[in-house]
Amino acid sequence: MAAYWAACAALAYHLGYWAELAAPVSPPPSPPWAVALGLLSAAAPQPFYFAAVGPAAAAARPVRSWAAVTLFALTNGLLESFAFRAVRDAGAAAAGRLLGAGAIPPAAAATTRALGGLAALVAYCGAVHALFWERVFPPHLPSRDDPAARAAMRTALALFFPMTLAFAALDLRAVVAAHALADAAAAAALRLPPPWGYREREGRE
């Protein structure tokens, strides 16, 4: 996890995202629909996510570490948002290069770049959660013997998807805020142990 965060921080420095985050907000602001969708899609899935993973997490870790919840939400909410932004920008740039300069009207070109950025962001979010976070987090996927929990997880994932659409349109500050909110709720549901407890947890499993 530390290596992932360090890579995100270094990438952000290279691409100028730290300076952008520290600079005064410049117009135009994020579209109101994207702000509303980002906050809604960060909050709406959480009851279903708690229903899917909360009971098993509570049985495995009776004490919730609020220090770990806060640390994870603030750190990952900031640093992984840089990765999201970089992937979105790369996808948009790739779509633009495929089109070629002046190949289609400007409005259509802008839409195509936005869709390219969204597609790249969706692919990255799916890959990083399936290949990385599922290995880092404590075991939490619902058992096949618990159809209610599996249905709750599917509902949560479906409600999380609009956040990706919002992230593709939000400014960096808004992405960080919505992402940190979602991370805080997820870490609380998982009763995420603090980093200094990971080795102890792995030894018990």
Mean pLDDT of 165-170: 83
Rg of the chain, C-alpha, whole Å: 18
pLDDT reported for residue 13:
95
Alpha-carbon gap, residue 189 to 159, rounded angstroms: 16
pLDDT reported for residue 199:
43
Taking only the tens place, the pLDDT of each residue in 70-98 is 999 999 999 999 999 999 999 999 998 88
Task: Give Dmax over CA atoms of the chain in angstroms.
Answer: 60
pLDDT reported for residue 147:
87
Alpha-carbon gap, residue 197 to 86, rounded angstroms: 31
pLDDT reported for residue 179:
92
CB-facing half-sphere around the CA of 135: CA atoms within 13 A: 7
Mean pLDDT of 9-13: 96
Q: Which residues contact 175 (CB under 8 A, 6 or more apart)?
A: 38, 81, 84, 85, 167
Ranges of each domain in the chain: 30-204
Q: Which residues contact 128 (CB under 8 A, 6 or more apart)?
A: 80, 83
Model confidence at 28, pLDDT cuts 50, 70, 90, reads low
Q: Highest-confidence range of 117-131, 137-151, 160-174, 186-200, by mean pLDDT?
A: 117-131
Q: Which residues contact 135 (CB under 8 A, 6 or more apart)?
A: none
If you average pLDDT over every residue of the chain, what do you get? 85
Model confidence at 102, pLDDT cuts 50, 70, 90, reads low
